[in-house]
Structure 1
């Protein structure tokens, strides 16, 4: 069958449209026996391209399809009045999009696997607005709630791709026009494919109804949080006659897996909305540095494209070489691969849209062996960094001015280096290779590649590829950069948001863990610090990520709100709040005997080494069991269970800030980072200068032996103290 035609099946299904090589291929209309109608593009018996489907239950979808499921941008309207406009992946809502419910509530933000996941804005029908983060459909992390009638920042400029109008309607005229033009282009394309015909039952199966998760939103759950704010609204002691409209109260909140654990009441004027929103929701503006000014206005695009081109070439060239032991000649600046990438392409390189550049890959055989040592497949490495999805910009947590990129699957971090840092890494690479080979549980940063880009003018950009220590399916609620020093090691409260990396003096918890796990952790930290000391390295830190589990003793949101009201001496909530839905909360962490067949042993490149043993279950190899998630393998720095106990601080917490719990079950992720700062002459001068103004034991810059001792003692006594 080739050309145009009609097929009618005995079941009553009917197709009218184009064929190619016995396949439904081209443009056509398919009507199922149940009454669903699809009009649009086809490819090998499956919906593919632009199409519109009217389901038998009156649901409608118009947008992009791929191999029979929704993939790309599209609009879905449910028969109950709910509407979604945005991105889809593998038949589920995934990416950026706007959902409008029949009751008038609107969510504009990130989605994953059919659930709200990431940053977003939730606008209630009564005018209230919540700006924050979600994880797997639940509020998770920090956010800000603006009650109905209060002043809140304009949301128009933040809804760039899918806008919500002032009246709450979803505008999609631009997208509809883009879809229309794509339909015209798709209709003009004809592709001939040979093969045999497939049954209509396969086609009907591929057009099955949507997953229930897409429409599982419960307005009562969101309204419970909204109503609690009304009950908690603070009123002036002098009464409301003193122009209350001039004072707008907003609520800075923090959630853990849908449970409200902290709320801070502030005036609208005290918030820095522009900076907070830029750090959380909009495209990250990377800091300008001398090493990337050469790329002009499109610096990020050119740099990422050059990285992908170079890494694809290098890994493809070195992978076919037979594996062998690393030799002394494989180290140093002269052990390298060089290649020129002209824009128009060459005999060895493809044409590209960037600018001409020279590529240098340092110590390729060493890093190839390191990737194999870290159990990283070369094909996975290339697909993660050089795949179609590209790289993402992330904000630098430090003051170095380095540019950071993150692979789309979150497995790798790419960081630009200074020339001095490159030199240090090349010098220490032989010892580093030996150290990570001897200690497979090392917490030191995993390096996977060291490269340099040079333009025709001679300007250079150097960068290193590292493993992302926070590559996990669990949401990281807190991030800490701990050095063991105290001078200046705090973060301005006004600059803290959900993505901020906090410092030593911001740490308000100490972590108690299994005796055997703690012993293994501190032993490896000591070994790693002694190695860095031998290389005259200072200024490194422990990057610590916390995933909190919702407290087990909380029974309902109503009880939570009542408890918070008592602490704030506020009036009790209304009847609607007391009748809030009961929450089914996850239980605490549980250590269980290790079963390799039931554990995902490699969710990220940072995982390597033996399974740890736990004292609490008889010195056996253990895994971590988290209700609601998979069973996780416990290793040094990865999936480590602990209890976070709040420290008693000398400073009193503000009256408007309330944290409801003192002890949390947490999962810890950690590693030693920033290991490329040598204690050189410049650092010695810095130490001398700062010692004249501050206590020498509190400043960060000290000689390597003292730095290592202070770092280890701080972690042993303040962060991971011994359990009585």
Structure 2
């Protein structure tokens, strides 16, 4: 049909008026349409729909000028709201999506990434009062790595969650003092170090001298480790101003530090923030003034200061150096294959390998696992020269060979737990890098934690990898058949080898402690007693305690306990059938602001009474009263729409039922936190009872109990030790010195029975 090029006017039955070109009976070409409610559009049309360039005016005085497609605001344009706010940037289906700048009615402005109408990705927000934040956003709130500078001069550089400081970071006060530590939901939580103003904690940068990996090191240094670096100095994380110039059509903005594709929105796969905390104490004590070389080691629990010690900065420096290089002197470590920067090179190599493997296996259509997917033939091999090749990119590590074991099996395992391939790669291989953890055991294994806390990567001995591959067909069937299994979730097994033959093997696992709640204590429980304790001088915040260190009994709702022991019994039977021993229950305990802190701080013997009464929690004036949330954990009927947080990325079981709410699925209400879904091993409420014997007279004792509300996280770990000839010999030898039932190395049937019996005492059944 030919287009009528003449300008015509048409009045519709509802009172709408159109003046412009037509194609048949439909507006097509240039035209102006006025709706009966006062809305007016003037611009391009295509077969009756606003498509092309145009302007639209609403009766509310809001306006938009820019690109349209199919009747939607789509492309690039400027929207002026009825409240006076102005957004200029990318649009997708009438939602702000991509790169854009918005100036709000109160003169605040945001410059950065948007996703479906909310701030998400990297960006800069400036408040009209002078406060400024540059960093990552999620669902409209500050989440991830970012720097906040207040107009008064204070500055925080670290990690955020839902708009609150959450994770490691440092706080610089306007007077020049510093606090370096960790936060939970905006409150100081855990150990940290405070440097008074004038203590000169800053030293020279110790990373930029490594010219061969300078650029890459900066991109991986965003994880803050309070053990390795005590007082940081800030480098600029983003440029002071994000460019307002956009290229129409592609929607791509070019910038020194940000490169994003507006057509796809802003996400971690296209967003890179190069930021670094430059941290090192001065090596020479002459850099410090003698009368100002004092720092304060502090420990907080949910904003309450519970401990403080005065330390000399030079001693802190030596202490942290020892902690940093403690692993370097370990002999017989299974990862001592790189000279100098072995840990850094290992991290780069495994990221490159995982990115390659997941990218290669993802396009393959999904199918059921076959017998051919197990065994020696199920391998992916690749050589990664540092200069790159036709199949691999250039990189900053050394040349290495990569091997991926049973890729289709682990892909299906990831699918079981609804792990998206892109999200999995971004968690492990993203620019934020991996955090190295100290090993809680004696194996010499190296541990990495993904930047979002979802995954743990552990190096394996050759014998452990053999056990895993041998067990894998049975493990796969067990996990597929038992959604609530508490056994470690494995998501990948890999190997790195150098030309000279040295090899390191590792496995990717789900992190059972991936939670917004802080884990205050960790226990590794086997059920054996010989040597199962931790020396007091070795215990710190990160210590994993053992069987004899446990002073609590945990009492649960009757149905929750039944569900727990039903699955523990099933899992231990499986491990027994595979001839596995030495496994343990890893238990994480979150204390809900226990009341004993109040009495501790108000005690006349406490050195912090005056300070705490003046400052309260996290610097909030409280007129002498501690702002501790009320005790009591409340179980309510499960409502999916009301749950404030999702379970960990490796949890796929059902919501548990609780006896206390009439045998219905349960959510946990936590004062000041929200509503959490209760699942096996995740968000499980309990009461921790601590038995104390106190002298009443010279001849009698009184039994007292301290009772704390706790939230538990637990799972079965270390399942790769067979009861082989070596363990049988160990059993015979130790049985001559100790009670045979007290040692760890016993045959699988005895081990599983003892394991369950011990846990029944840890989680006693209420009478």
Q: Structure 2 vs 1, CA of residues 247 and 619 (structure 1 numbering), >3 Å: closer, same or farther?
A: same
Which residue number corresponds to residue 306 of structure 1? 352
Shift of 1:628: 4.3
Higher helix fraction: Structure 1 or Structure 2? Answer: 1
Aligned with residue 360 of structure 1, among 366, 379, 403? 403
Secondary structure of the residue that 2:403 maps to in structure 1? Answer: strand
Shift of 1:542: 0.9
Q: Structure 2 vs 1, CA of residues 286 and 321 (structure 1 numbering), >3 Å: closer, same or farther?
A: farther
Give runs of aligned pairs for residues 555-704 of structure 1, distance below 5 A: 560=598, 564-566=602-604, 568=606, 579-580=623-624, 583=627, 585=629, 588-595=632-639, 603-648=647-692, 662-691=706-735, 696-704=740-748
Shift of 1:697: 4.2
Give runs of aligned pairs for residues 322-401 of structure 1, distance below 5 A: 322-323=367-368, 326-327=370-371, 329-340=372-383, 349-353=391-395, 357-378=400-421, 380-382=423-425, 384-386=427-429, 391-401=434-444
Q: Structure 2 vs 1, CA of residues 303 and 493 (structure 1 numbering), >3 Å: closer, same or farther?
A: farther
Which residue number corresponds to residue 141 of structure 1? 190
Q: For structure 1, which runs of at least 5 residues remain unmatched after alignment?
A: 2-6, 164-169, 196-205, 207-244, 652-660
Correspondence 1:423 to 2:423: no
Shift of 1:441: 2.2
Correspondence 1:453 to 2:453: no
Correspondence 1:320 to 2:369: no
Q: Please, what TM-score do these two structures have when normalized by structure 2?
A: 0.67
Q: Structure 2 vs 1, CA of residues 602 and 562 (structure 1 numbering), >3 Å: closer, same or farther?
A: closer
Which residue number corresponds to residue 255 of structure 2? none
Q: Distance in 1 between matches of 2:715 and 2:457?
A: 16
Q: Is the 8 A contact 1:133 1:142 kept in 2?
A: yes
Bigger shift: residues 540-549 or 63-72? 63-72
Q: Distance in 1 between matches of 2:482 and 2:144?
A: 39
Give runs of aligned pairs for residues 428-447 of structure 1, distance below 5 A: 428-447=471-490
Secondary structure of the residue that 1:648 maps to in structure 2? Answer: strand
Q: Distance in 1 between matches of 2:141 and 2:203?
A: 26
Q: Deviations over 1:567-606 (max 9, x none)?
A: 6498767788772577372552222234456558963343
Which residue number corresponds to residue 228 of structure 1? none
Which residue number corresponds to residue 563 of structure 2? 520
Correspondence 1:253 to 2:299: yes
Q: Distance in 2 between matches of 1:499 and 1:543?
A: 14
Secondary structure of the residue that 2:757 maps to in structure 1? Answer: helix
Q: For structure 2, which runs of at least 5 residues remain unmatched after alignment?
A: 1-42, 44-54, 208-220, 225-231, 253-264, 266-290, 616-620, 696-704
Q: Distance in 1 between matches of 2:82 and 2:608?
A: 60
Which residue number corresponds to residue 545 of structure 2? 502
Shift of 1:445: 0.9
Q: Distance in 1 between matches of 2:322 and 2:678?
A: 32
Shift of 1:136: 1.6
Q: Please, what TM-score do these two structures have when normalized by structure 1?
A: 0.70
Which residue number corresponds to residue 478 of structure 1? 521
Shift of 1:519: 2.6
Q: Deviations over 1:515-566 (max 9, x none)?
A: 2222332232233223323323222111111222234x79xx9xx3796234
Q: Is the 8 A contact 2:357 2:380 kept in 1?
A: no
Q: Distance in 2 between matches of 1:610 and 1:30?
A: 45
Q: Structure 2 vs 1, CA of residues 43 and 457 (structure 1 numbering), >3 Å: closer, same or farther?
A: farther
Aligned with residue 448 of structure 2, among 400, 405, 411? 405
Shift of 1:671: 0.6
Q: Is the 8 A contact 2:64 2:78 kept in 1?
A: yes
Q: Distance in 2 between matches of 1:465 and 1:443?
A: 16
Aligned pairs, number:
632
Give runs of aligned pairs for residues 127-276 of structure 1, distance below 5 A: 130-143=179-192, 154=201, 192-193=249-250, 250=296, 252-256=298-302, 258=303, 260=304, 263-268=306-311, 273-274=316-317
Which residue number corresponds to residue 235 of structure 1? none
Tell me the C-alpha RMSD between the 2 structures.
5.2
Q: Structure 2 vs 1, CA of residues 722 and 286 (structure 1 numbering), >3 Å: closer, same or farther?
A: farther
Q: Structure 2 vs 1, CA of residues 31 and 709 (structure 1 numbering), >3 Å: closer, same or farther?
A: closer
Q: Name which structure has the greater RCO, CA cutoff 8 Å, separation 6+.
A: 1
Q: Distance in 2 between matches of 1:540 and 1:591?
A: 31
Shift of 1:481: 1.6
Shift of 1:663: 2.1
Q: Is the 8 A contact 2:334 2:445 kept in 1?
A: no
Q: Distance in 2 between matches of 1:416 and 1:641?
A: 33
Q: Structure 2 vs 1, CA of residues 409 and 101 (structure 1 numbering), >3 Å: closer, same or farther?
A: closer
Q: Distance in 2 between matches of 1:566 and 1:666?
A: 28
Secondary structure of the residue that 2:472 maps to in structure 1? Answer: helix
Aligned with residue 550 of structure 1, among 593, 607, 612? 593
Bigger shift: residues 478-487 or 75-84? 75-84
Q: Structure 2 vs 1, CA of residues 278 and 595 (structure 1 numbering), >3 Å: closer, same or farther?
A: farther
Secondary structure of the residue that 1:293 maps to in structure 2? Answer: coil
Shift of 1:674: 0.7
Secondary structure of the residue that 1:432 maps to in structure 2? Answer: helix
Q: Structure 2 vs 1, CA of residues 145 and 538 (structure 1 numbering), >3 Å: closer, same or farther?
A: same
Which residue number corresponds to residue 116 of structure 1? 165
Q: Distance in 1 between matches of 2:154 and 2:451?
A: 30
Q: Is the 8 A contact 1:338 1:358 kept in 2?
A: yes
Shift of 1:468: 1.5
Q: Deviations over 1:157-190 (max 9, x none)?
A: 7999999xxxxxx9878668x658x86xx97x95
Q: Deviations over 1:629-681 (max 9, x none)?
A: 45433222122111112232799xxxxxxxxx932221111111011112223
Q: Is the 8 A contact 2:382 2:403 kept in 1?
A: yes
Q: Structure 2 vs 1, CA of residues 73 and 313 (structure 1 numbering), >3 Å: closer, same or farther?
A: closer
Which residue number corresponds to residue 578 of structure 2? 535
Q: Is the 8 A contact 2:199 2:292 kept in 1?
A: no
